[in-house]
Structures are given as structure tokens and as C-alpha cells.
Amino acid sequence: MQFRCETIGNATLYQADALDVLPRLKERSFAGLLTDPPYSSGGAFKGDRSAPTSSKYQSAAHRGIYPEFQGDTRDQRSYFAWLTLWLSRARGLIVPGGLGCVFTDWRQLPTTTDALQAAGWVWRGIAPWDKTERGRPQLGRYRAQAEYVVWGTDGPRALAGPVAPGVFRAPVPNVKHHIAGKPVAVMEGLLAPMEAGAILDPFMGSGTVGLACQAVGRPYVGIEVDATYFEIACRRLQEGLNGHSNPSA
């Protein structure tokens, strides 16, 4: 199978389904996994989950600004199976003891911690991303203010290396490049305790993890199935390489 592949500085970007690319990457060649997969969330029922990503993850005022993204309509059982499948393949690519970080939301938190363990990772914790008071207010309820990074290791990990925060506080960026765009600063913080070496991101979106890797001088491999978002990621990384300032997400 042929994929589109672009090399931009230290970054290698594939436009393909992650499940097609992961088996072709070299075993144990990555220092860590840092990725933000589709959550298949956004509602309690199958019909809610099958709605367009813009209506699930954006207010009506912002719909239509960003392209829809793919792979977000699985029901609960198939989402668990799919997470387990790619997390298992990804684990074999990370150095023994290496860190794996996977974003999720409150609805999919239990499924994600189950899948991480089913895929053979040792589940070590949850690092909340506190989106600050700019998170969506909800009348008579608690503000939708956090998403979560489920993290674990491939087997035992030595108690050595830098200490990193366990909560990351940063607002959703003003300028986003993806419906589900995350702040580059949060990704940089998550990279900090990982060993030197390349980072694997099977769900690249607009390339936010890649930009964080670029900022700290790490090799990066990103995979994105959607052609539009692949182009956006290539553009952002190229601009970063050319020294153009990149808005925060």
C-alpha cells in the first residue's frame, strides 16, 4: 500500500489510516507516544455520536469554520476494540518503559483506561488538561472545563528523570486549526519527562504535537487520515521550520 509521506525538518508525516502505517514502523524506535485520537464522544446515545464532529464539539456560533474530521462515530464497544487495537500496535514501537499519553474526555475516560491496559500498557495515571474559565459554561451545572490525558508505560519505568506537572492549565487557543485543536504548550509540557528520541502521534490532526516536538528539537512521526487536515499539519510544520511564528494551536 502506498501512502503520501512528507518529511519536514525532523518530522515525518503520513497521510493514511494509522492502522495501515503502524505495522510498518520500526519496533522500539520511539521514545514515547503522545496522541489525541477521535473520542467518539459527544452524547449518550448512538445517534448523538454519529452526528457531525462540528455539532458535537462546537457551539452553533463556531460551526462551519473548520473541516469535519474522521473516525468519530464508533459506538462504545467498537471504540474500545479500536482503541485496544492501535494502542497495542503502538506499544510495540515504544522503547521499553517508555511513556504513552492519550487524550480523552470525561465520557470516554473509563473506556480509554480500560483499552490502554487491554493493549498491555501499565496504566499510571490521568493528567487533566484544565481549559481554564474559558471552558464552556453550563447553566445550573459545572463548567465543561477539562479534558484528560490517560498515561501509562510499556512495562516498568525507572524512577529517574525530570519531574513534570500532573495538571496542565491552558485555554483552548483563540486561533485553532482543527475542531479539536489543542494548545502547543500543553503538548510541550507532556513531552518533558519523555526520554530523548522520536515521538509517535498516530492521530496528528493539525499537527499540534509535531509543533511541540519541533519547538523542543525532537524527531516526530505523525499520521493523519484526512487529506485536508494533513495539508494543514504540513503547512504549520513548514511555517514553523521557516521560523514563522505559529499561533498557539
| Binding footprint of ligand SAM on the chain (CB under 6 A) | 17-18, 36-38, 69-71, 178, 180-182, 202-203, 205-206, 208, 223-226, 229, 249
- 3-state secondary structure at position 84: helix
71/92 with CB nearer ligand SAM: 71
**Closest distance to ligand SAM from the beta carbon of 202 (Å):** 6
**Closest distance to ligand SAM from the beta carbon of 121 (Å):** 19
77/141 with CB nearer ligand SAM: 77
**Closest distance to ligand SAM from the beta carbon of 155 (Å):** 26
Bridge partners, 94 (sequence order): 30
**Closest distance to ligand SAM from the beta carbon of 153 (Å):** 22
Q: What is the arrangement of strands in the sheet containing 11-15, beginning at the earlier edge strand? A: 4-8, 11-15, 220-224, 199-201, 30-35, 94-104, 146-153, 122-130, 168-169
* C-alpha closest to that of 21 among 153, 200, 199, 236: 200
152/181 with CB nearer ligand SAM: 181
**Closest distance to ligand SAM from the beta carbon of 133 (Å):** 21
Q: Are strands 122-130 and 30-35 parallel, antiparallel or unpaired?
A: unpaired
36/154 with CB nearer ligand SAM: 36
**Cα dihedral angle (140, 144, 145, 150), rounded to 10 degrees?**
140
157/246 with CB nearer ligand SAM: 246
- Enter the DSSP assignment of 60: G
**Closest distance to ligand SAM from the beta carbon of 44 (Å):** 20
Residue pair 32/200 in contact (Cβ under 8 Å)? The answer is yes
Cβ-based neighbour number of residue 76 at 10 Å = 14
* C-alpha closest to that of 41 among 86, 94, 121, 107: 107
**Closest distance to ligand SAM from the beta carbon of 56 (Å):** 11
- Enter the DSSP assignment of 144: B
59/140 with CB nearer ligand SAM: 59
- 3-state secondary structure at position 41: coil
Residue nearest to ligand SAM (CB): 205
31/184 with CB nearer ligand SAM: 184
